[in-house]
Structures are given as structure tokens and as C-alpha cells.
């Protein structure tokens, strides 16, 4: 329904007390349409929306940054503290094992000494394997019967080599541990657990916490970089918007003078010689800029020689308002998508001379678009191309409305009735005939043939 309403606005308009031109916002639209500025207005709108889109995105980033800061008010301090401490994955388990190693150091030294004798002493398996290799080598020169035992010895030697390597690695790790001290391990463990309590987590989780802090810091840096880029692009779009909006303002100022002159010219013909019509253009504060520019536009009038300008509603009587709106629509008709305008008793309470001027003005307007007029004045009716009579009756206590096209003869009678009332006089008929004869467009038009 909303779409249909918008389409209807661009195709048909009803002239009356709820006329759209009584609203100030419509004055800007009217002036832009009158000056044929739709292409420039579209540029201003696009620039404005792009500028505001960047502002909106920047505000979203600000909100996310605020949320990140709210999650941890002292985030950066905590991050630097954890980064300096550099917790390792599962470090508490590692330190506990290391501390246990220090406590059992004496026992470990004795046991390692015994194992060293097996792996490296004169009675180690190395010596036995070397002796067996030499023996099998001599036997292989004399017989093939010891080939299988020799293969098994090679396999044993390979396993032994791997075992020696893993033993040396474990022993080296233990010796590295010995390069530290129990006091250092205890201190590191104490600091680890203190930090864990401070951050309300487990000691082994500090490593993951630091990782999450690093991700958060990266996100903050990304957001700040994105915000900076958005602000730069936003300033570019803002500058383009201001350029186009300023150009639009200049074009409106040019159209303003032309429109004022044209409306005053129409109003003189409609016997409103003393009425003043002005297009008031004022620059808006930046916070009030819109997609339609940086101007505030209002049509202002003063009647009867008053110097103080005001709105249509405040300064004009009903008859004056109708004629001002009619003058505006005559000018708008040159650049509008409207196809039909309906005037509802625009000539109400008008004198004959004024009504004649209104009829002529409506005739001029009809050269641009279709005009439908509801009137009780023969001066206006005589200017029409076609005359349709609307009657209301009752049948079976129900209202019935009928519309009928009138022939030329019927038009004369209907206008005579408008002039004289219920009883049609010869003078009224003669006057009605004169009205039609003075309007060549309607004199010989027989509407009943339509």
C-alpha cells in the first residue's frame, strides 16, 4: 500500500485544504522540481548517504571498542604484565615436576650413577656387543650357520643405540634442571599462582589467557586502523557532499528569483496585485544537513501590503490561498511527473471577474496535464473542454450519485441554472451562451459524444 501511495503522489494530486504545498518540506521539493534539479539532488543524496554510512560504521567500531574496554578496564596493563611474565603451556605441572626432581636429587644422582656404569662403563653392553660383533665376523668367514644370530645382533645393536640416545637425552634434561635451583623454581611457581588468583583462573590457564589477550589486542589494533580508514573516507565523502550541496544551493538561488517573478505575474492576473510572494532560503547548521542539501526553504507571503512575511496558513484567506496554490501549480506543470490535478471548488466565494481569471489560468494549466475541476461557477465551467454534471438522489432511502456528460445545449442550461438558481431566466441563458461563445475551445465541443 505504501508503494501505491507513493506512485499515486507522482501521478495525481487533489487541490484543497490538505494540499501538500501547505507543508514546508514540500517547498524544497517544489523548487527542485521547478528548476529541474533532480540529477543534482540525486548526487547530493548519494554523497550524503555514503558519508553517513561511514559515520555509522565508525560509531559501531567505537561501541565495540567501548565494550572491549568495559570487559577489562585495565586490559592493557594486564596484557603487559602477562606478556612480561610469559607463562608457558601447562607450566604449573612442569614446575611441580621440576620441584620434585630437586627434592629427590640425591636419590636420582645415585641411580643415575649406577645407570651410567651400565651404559658407559667397562662392563657396559657396548663392550659385549663389540666383542660379539668381532666374533661373528670371524665366524662368517668360516661358516654360514651363524648368519641368523649375526642379524639378531645387528638388530640388538640398533635398539641399543636408540636406548643410549634416549637415555642421554633424559639425563641431559635432568642435568639442565640441575643448572636451575629449587629456590628459583619455588619463586616462579609462587608468581604463577599469584597471577592466576589475580586473574581468577587456574595456573595452567594463564598461557591461554595471554593468548586471548593477544587476540584482543590485535582486534583493538584492527578496529582502530579500520576506524582511521573510515574517518578518512568519510571526510572525502563529506567534502564531496558539501561541494554538490553548495552547487545545489546556488542553483536554487537562481531558480528562486525566476519563480518569484513568475508567481507575482500570475497573481496579478488573478487580482492579487498587492500580495508579496518570496522564496526564503536559509543555510542550515551542519547537524541539520540532510540528504536534500544544506538549505532550509520556505514559501512566504504577505497580503494587503503587510511587510511581515508568514506562512500560507497564517497570512492568506481561503480565496487567496487557492489562487496562490493555483499559480504555483501552473509553474510546476512544466517540470512534473503529475498527469492529473483535481481542483475542488477553487473558485469558492470568488467574484465573477476573479473566477474568470481562475478559469483562464486553469485553461493554461490544462495544456500541460489533465485538469479536473469541481465548480459551481459558470465563469470557470465555460473554460472547460468537457462538462460533466454530478447529481445526488435517493432511491429506496439509499444515496445515489450519477455523472453525465453534457452536450453544448445542456451546458448552456446548466450554466444558466448556476447564474439564476432554480428558475432559469432568459437573461441567464443568454449570459451562459455568451460565456461559451467567448471560449472557442468549448463552444462547439459536444461532450455527449464521448
At 297 the pLDDT is 95
In whole angstroms, give the CA distance from residue 18 to residue 312: 12
CB atoms near residue 316 (< 10 Å): 20
Q: What is the pTM of this model?
A: 0.61
In whole angstroms, give the CA distance from residue 140 to residue 133: 11
Domain annotation covers residue 143: yes
Q: Of the ranges 109-118, 174-183, 250-259, which one carries the lowest mean pLDDT score?
A: 174-183
In whole angstroms, give the CA distance from residue 345 to residue 355: 11
Across 112-126, 269-283, 325-339, the highest mean pLDDT is recorded for 269-283
Domain annotation covers residue 188: yes
SS3 content of the chain, % helix, strand, coil (to 5): 70, 10, 20
pLDDT tens digit sequence for 140-150:
778 888 888 88
Helices 24-34 and 318-332 cross at an angle (nearest 10°) of: 30
pLDDT band per the 50, 70, 90 thresholds, residue 295: very high
Pick from 424, 408, 407, 406: nearest CA to 416: 424
Domain annotation covers residue 392: no
In whole angstroms, give the CA distance from residue 184 to residue 190: 10
In whole angstroms, give the CA distance from residue 216 to residue 224: 12
pLDDT tens digit sequence for 324-365:
888 888 887 776 666 788 887 777 766 677 788 888 888 888
All 3 cell numbers of residue 253? Answer: 538561488
Q: Is the pLDDT of residue 450 over 80?
A: no
In whole angstroms, give the CA distance from residue 157 to residue 164: 10
At 280 the pLDDT is 95
Q: Is the pLDDT of residue 175 over 70?
A: no
Number of folded domains that form the chain? 1
In whole angstroms, give the CA distance from residue 425 to residue 437: 18
Average pLDDT over residues 265-276: 88
Domain annotation covers residue 423: no
Domain that holds residue 109: 75-218
Q: How far is CA 211 from the centre of its chain?
A: 36
pLDDT band per the 50, 70, 90 thresholds, residue 397: confident
Domain annotation covers residue 186: yes
Domain annotation covers residue 29: no
Domain annotation covers residue 144: yes
Domain annotation covers residue 96: yes
Q: Is the pLDDT of residue 44 over 90?
A: yes
Amino acid at each position: 500500500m505504501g508503494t501505491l501511495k507513493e506512485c499515486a503522489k507522482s501521478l495525481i494530486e487533489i487541490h484543497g485544504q490538505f494540499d501538500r504545498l501547505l507543508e514546508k518540506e514540500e517547498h524544497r521539493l517544489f523548487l527542485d522540481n521547478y528548476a529541474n534539479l533532480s540529477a543534482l539532488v540525486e548526487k547530493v543524496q548519494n554523497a550524503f548517504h555514503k558519508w553517513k554510512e561511514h559515520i555509522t560504521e565508525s560509531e559501531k567500531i567505537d561501541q565495540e571498542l567501548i565494550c572491549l574496554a568495559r570487559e577489562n578496564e585495565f586490559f592493557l596493563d594486564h596484557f603487559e604484565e602477562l606478556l612480561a611474565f610469559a607463562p608457558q603451556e601447562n607450566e604449573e605441572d612442569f614446575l611441580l615436576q621440576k620441584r620434585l626432581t630437586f627434592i629427590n636429587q640425591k636419590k636420582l644422582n645415585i641411580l643415575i650413577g649406577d645407570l651410567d656404569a651400565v651404559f658407559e662403563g667397562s662392563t657396559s653392553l657396548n663392550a659385549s656387543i663389540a666383542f660379539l660383533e668381532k666374533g661373528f665376523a670371524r665366524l662368517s668367514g668360516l661358516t654360514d650357520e651363524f648368519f641368523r644370530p649375526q642379524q639378531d645382533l645387528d638388530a640388538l645393536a640398533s635398539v641399543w643405540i636408540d636406548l643410549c640416545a634416549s637415555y642421554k637425552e633424559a639425563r641431559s634434561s635432568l642435568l639442565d634442571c640441575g643448572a636451575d635451583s629449587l629456590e628459583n623454581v619455588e619463586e616462579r611457581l609462587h608468581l604463577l599462582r599469584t597471577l592466576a588468583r589475580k586473574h581468577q583462573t587456574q595456573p595452567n590457564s594463564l598461557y591461554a589467557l595471554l593468548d586471548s589477550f593477544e587476540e584482543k589486542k590485535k582486534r583493538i589494533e584492527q578496529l582502530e586502523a579500520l576506524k582511521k580508514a573510515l574517518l578518512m573516507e568519510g571526510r572525502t565523502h563529506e567534502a564531496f557532499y558539501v561541494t554538490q550541496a553548495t552547487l545545489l544551493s546556488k542553483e536554487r538561488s537562481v531558480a528562486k528569483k525566476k519563480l518569484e517573478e513568475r508567481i507575482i505575474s500570475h497573481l496579478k492576473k488573478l487580482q492579487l496585485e498587492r500580495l508579496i510572494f518570496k522564496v526564503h532560503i536559509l543555510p542550515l547548521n551542519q547537524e541539520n544537513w540532510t540528504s536534500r542539501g544544506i538549505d532550509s526553504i520556505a514559501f512566504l507571503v504577505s497580503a494587503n501590503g503587510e511587510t511581515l512575511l508568514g506562512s500560507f496558513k497564517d497570512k492568506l484567506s481561503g480565496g487567496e490561498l487557492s489562487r496562490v496554490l493555483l499559480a504555483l501549480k501552473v509553474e510546476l506543470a512544466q517540470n512534473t511527473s503529475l498527469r492529473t490535478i483535481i481542483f475542488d471548488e477553487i473558485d469558492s466565494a470568488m467574484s465573477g471577474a476573479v473566477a474568470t481569471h481562475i478559469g483562464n489560468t486553469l485553461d493554461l494549466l490544462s495544456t500541460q496535464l489533465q485538469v479536473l475541476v469541481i465548480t459551481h461557477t459558470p465563469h470557470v465551467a465555460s473554460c472547460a473542454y468537457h462538462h460533466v454534471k454530478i447529481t445526488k438522489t435517493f432511491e429506496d432511502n439509499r444515496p445515489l450519485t450519477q455523472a453525465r456528460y453534457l452536450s453544448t445545449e445542456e451546458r448552456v442550461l446548466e450554466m444558466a441554472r448556476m447564474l439564476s438558481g432554480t428558475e432559469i431566466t432568459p437573461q441567464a441563458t443568454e449570459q451562459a451562451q455568451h460565456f461559451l461563445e467567448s471560449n472557442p475551445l468549448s463552444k462547439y465541443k459536444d461532450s455527449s459524444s464521448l
